Structure 1
Amino acid sequence: MNKEIEILVVEDSLTQAEQLKFILEKKDYKVKVVNDGLQALEYIGKSMPDLVITDILMQKMDGYELCQEIKEDDKLKHIPVILLTSLSDPIDVIKGLKVKADNFITKPYNEHFLVSRIQHMLINIELRKNRISEIGIEVFFAGEKHFINSERIQIIDLLLSTFDNAVQKTKELEDTNNELKKAFETIGRLERNYRAILESNTDALLVINDNKEILYLNPAAKKLLGKNYEELIISILDFEQIKKGVKEVTINYEEGNQVIGEMCISDTDWEGKEAYLLSIRDITEKVHLREKLRIQSITDELTTLYNRRGFLSLVEHKVNFAKRNKKGMLLFFVDVDDMKCINDTLSHNHGDCALVGVSDILRDTFKENDVIARIGGDEFAILSMDVSERDVEKFVNKLLNNQKEYNDKSNYPFNISMSVGAAYFDPENPMSIGELMARADRLMYKNKNCKGRAEDYNS
């Protein structure tokens, strides 16, 4: 049935015109689209469409002018005209009446409502073909007088369409309000859940702004930071340049206690304003354990001196420092004599006691900031900083004296004897760590085979 009805769409927006055409053709209406009022009049004069749907705001000729041209032409005035409008101004209704428009449809329109209005209007026009009466009346509206000479049926239809549009808009507003209400309820529920998560989190959580003000802190934060939380937060944060990401911070309490925290900083929105979310986790035990494991990894368990790994790691840093600052260093290699004999003839426990005794002698001989290590079974290495090549004799003599004193006081059934080799690191003619260690090791074995004088330990 609808295929027999032709609708002319007058719309200068190609997108909206195609949208309207698509909606109407889905309902099997025959649709013609033109983009201004002059083209519409030309087409109407030739084709006599059953219905005209026109936008109001157009160039050359607007929708009101087009409607007036149609209604003032005796051959065309029977064609119903629907005006597409936003109805943003009450005067739009008066303008529509003055040009004898048949109906209003507000933009943006609902597809179902649009089709329903067109169907109702076409049916009413068919029913009213033989009920035409002319009236004229002058009205005062919006500060002006207006003469309305539309047909009575047209006035009724237009006013009904205006009311119908108002009902539709009211329904849409109610639907929107209901959706907003549900959205606000959802937001409120999410906010309550978010707060509950913050409150129950075992990590200390704080929200701060750029003015160093604490906007929120959860119970875990109050427990971790105590009553002076504001001062503590300021002390661990660089507010001039807050760095995002994760870092370790140290929290110092007035009582002298200390907590190490893992702090994560991220951007957040708090009550509609930009802020920072701070998460602080107490990792004191973790850090202490990590440090303990690190120390264990570089420490000889028996003597508590550095092991080979710890020694090589520290020596690398010391060599780089000596190069930069033109400082001399001495590397001593010490081997315990007759260690196998002590283990085999006495016991390995006595052997361990001998190694501990050597470590005590070395500690008494060298400076506190020297690096002393057990690098093998019965081999020790010492790196002495900021010394000259002439200091070799002094250290060796002191070592031998300390060795003699230890043996004199010892109650063990053995005497400790050590062979020593020394290599000098010359900052003006530096050598690699490997070369330094090889030289000291070679000299140590040379002196082990022929116990030389002190002044021969580095030559």
Structure 2
Amino acid sequence: MNKILVVDNNPVIRKMLSSALEKEKYQVECAEDGLSAFDCLDRFVPDIIFLDLIMPNINGEQFCQMISGRKGLEHTKIVVISGVAVEAGGECEMKGVHASIAKGPQFVSHVIDIARKFTCDHFHHAGIYQVFGAENLFPREISKELLAANRHLKVVLNNMSEGIVELAVDHRIIFANPAAAQLAGMAQEKLLASDFAQFFSGNDQIRVIDLLKQNKIMAQQITDNDPVMFNHQQVAINFLPVHDRENSTVVVIIKDISKTKIAEERLRETKEYLHSIFNSVQAGIIVIDVETNIIIDANLRALELYGIAKPDMLTHDCRDLLCPRPEERSCPVLQEGKTTHLTTQTVKKRNGQTMHILKTATVCMINNRQYIIESFLDITEQKKLENKLHSLSITDELTGLLNRRGFMMMAKKQLRIADRNPGKLFLLFADVDNLKWVNDTYGHDIGDMLLVKVAKLLASFRRSDIIARLGGDEFAVLLSDSSPTGGEEKISARFESLLYEENEKKDLGFPIEVSFGVVAYDNYKPCEIDELIVKADKLMYSSKKSKKI
């Protein structure tokens, strides 16, 4: 007995065809849609399938795709029965379909006739697709418009980047577009009738099943922020319930966000990497919005150097914090018109301490907005060292007075000042007598004590005087005197008085003897400091010589 499967969502048509075919002694099974028919094939292998074209839960075209090449159906004939066969025309001619019948007044007779022909194998030998029952039928405009709208919708769905699937009440897939098939990694026809939940695993599967249960009432979604894995890809999903008079289905929109998530992860890693570098460098870094002059970012080193918490520094006007002259509201970096601005600067920290910095300011454009990136190093200790080294280079280590280099440098400046201003300037040039004898007799420690005492003696003139140990036993003092007369004599008398007072103390066990000469600088006849020293040295030598007579 030949077996026939009738697939139609109209129960009246199913009843009419099954009754007519059973009278012809065919074994008949009926299914209300493509999904039911697909399940039926597991237990019933028909010789002929009479298939409606337009049905819910997998239509005729999808059903043909699903069973194409299925084992056991190699010799099964498929005949499409459609109420729009006349309007659809060639659309009924699909892979695996041998004929189509228009649902007209005589369509049952055509079904019986084709069943007989297939049974006798007459139709098979003809080998030509045919449409039966179209005579005396005319295309309906409404049907043509609906078919056109359906074709348009099909084009849209087939070209969407998101995967679109529709699920039956048992959560099996009854429609899938190409994007969904690509996400699932299988052909569209293989997706149909499969359980949607099978593409998830573990907690993701439990989550999807729970949402599908809730979806019977209202729409649900899995957002980009909390995606699930669909066939090893991160996806966001929208579940949209669809209800009509006969069926309730769920339309599922699947958005592949794997590339987005990978890009976000790479961006996050890059930001963390840059943030780590930003906060690890030993230079302070501050970012300023040029338009508003507001500090918008600062690294840990900058906060540490300024002694400011980040919330206090951000949104701060840079001119109040970073500029050496905050009263000048214009930006010195921008005024120069250079891309990079290098300078040393002295700034006040939050605790009031002074900090010397070496600052590089770079002007740059980011997203069409101008910023200044300031990086700076704390060179306070370096400055102290420089000052110390400078001091050592011009200072006599034993006495703490200026050395020859320091004296010459300072004295030259003082002479230039004297050239432009009224007042008298004098040079006292002194030589410690008998230093060699003291060293030989009492030792160099006592000799050093002698030199220190002479240094203190000279330093007691005035703090404003320039006092130096020129080397060995030679000292010089450059001093000013505002009195109109007697400058050299007064200075000589003052020094002799100080020397007498020191000798009265008798600290060393021998008298301190110093030969000296005092000369005045004539700003009407300017000369160099070397010439002045030569003049004073001659007077000192005369003083020393007179002591030996």
TM-score (structure 2 length as normaliser): 0.46
- Paired residues, number: 274
Gapped runs of 5+ residues in structure 1?
1-179, 453-459
RMSD over aligned CA atoms reads 3.0
Q: How far off its partner does 1:386 sit?
A: 5.2
**d(CA) in 1 for partners of 2:368, 2:423:** 60
1:4-48 deviation per Cα after TM superposition (whole angstroms, max 9, x unaligned): xxxxxxxxxxxxxxxxxxxxxxxxxxxxxxxxxxxxxxxxxxxxx
> Which aligned segments of 4 or more residues in structure 1 are displaced greater than 4 angstroms?
180-193, 234-239, 386-389
1:241-293 deviation per Cα after TM superposition (whole angstroms, max 9, x unaligned): 42453222222235432222111112123443112111121111111111111
Which residue number in structure 1 is paired with residue 124 of structure 2?
none
Give 1:47-446 correspondences, 5 Å limit. Answer: 193-210=273-290, 211-227=292-308, 229=313, 230=316, 231-234=320-323, 240-243=330-333, 244-253=340-349, 255-364=351-460, 366-385=461-480, 387=482, 390-446=486-542
3-state secondary structure, aligned to 1:368:
coil
Which residue number in structure 1 is paired with residue 243 of structure 2?
none
**d(CA) in 1 for partners of 2:499, 2:355:** 44
**d(CA) in 1 for partners of 2:486, 2:261:** 89
Which residue number in structure 1 is paired with residue 153 of structure 2?
none
Gapped runs of 5+ residues in structure 2?
1-259, 334-339
1:107-157 deviation per Cα after TM superposition (whole angstroms, max 9, x unaligned): xxxxxxxxxxxxxxxxxxxxxxxxxxxxxxxxxxxxxxxxxxxxxxxxxxx
Moved more, 189-198 or 380-389: 189-198
1:358-386 deviation per Cα after TM superposition (whole angstroms, max 9, x unaligned): 0111111x211110000010000111135
**d(CA) in 1 for partners of 2:523, 2:405:** 24
The 1:415–1:270 alpha-carbon spacing in structure 2 relative to 1, beyond 3 Å, is farther
Q: How far off its partner does 1:234 sit?
A: 4.4
3-state secondary structure, aligned to 1:202:
coil
The 1:183–1:315 alpha-carbon spacing in structure 2 relative to 1, beyond 3 Å, is farther
Q: How far off its partner does 1:223 sit?
A: 1.4
Larger radius of gyration: 2
3-state secondary structure, aligned to 1:222:
helix
**d(CA) in 1 for partners of 2:286, 2:541:** 64
Q: How far off its partner does 1:400 sit?
A: 0.8
**d(CA) in 2 for partners of 1:395, 1:425:** 14
1:173-225 deviation per Cα after TM superposition (whole angstroms, max 9, x unaligned): xxxxxxx9999999887666444322222211001133321121111111111
3-state secondary structure, aligned to 1:375:
strand
Structure with bigger helix share is 1
The 1:390–1:190 alpha-carbon spacing in structure 2 relative to 1, beyond 3 Å, is farther
**d(CA) in 2 for partners of 1:342, 1:358:** 14
Moved more, 298-307 or 255-264: 255-264
3-state secondary structure, aligned to 2:305:
helix
3-state secondary structure, aligned to 2:332:
coil
TM-score (structure 1 length as normaliser): 0.54
Which residue number in structure 1 is paired with residue 29 of structure 2?
none
Q: How far off its partner does 1:432 sit?
A: 1.6
The 1:186–1:236 alpha-carbon spacing in structure 2 relative to 1, beyond 3 Å, is farther
Q: How far off its partner does 1:404 sit?
A: 1.0
Q: How far off its partner does 1:311 sit?
A: 0.5
Contact 2:433/2:515, CA 8 A, preserved across alignment: yes
3-state secondary structure, aligned to 1:395:
helix
1:312-348 deviation per Cα after TM superposition (whole angstroms, max 9, x unaligned): 1111111111112244311110011111111112211
3-state secondary structure, aligned to 1:450:
helix
3-state secondary structure, aligned to 2:322:
helix
- Letter of the structure 2 residue corresponding to residue 266 of structure 1: T
Contact 2:492/2:518, CA 8 A, preserved across alignment: no
Contact 1:354/1:416, CA 8 A, preserved across alignment: yes
1:36-79 deviation per Cα after TM superposition (whole angstroms, max 9, x unaligned): xxxxxxxxxxxxxxxxxxxxxxxxxxxxxxxxxxxxxxxxxxxx
Contact 2:307/2:350, CA 8 A, preserved across alignment: no
**d(CA) in 2 for partners of 1:393, 1:254:** 55
Moved more, 228-237 or 291-300: 228-237
3-state secondary structure, aligned to 1:341:
helix
| Identity over aligned pairs, percent | 33
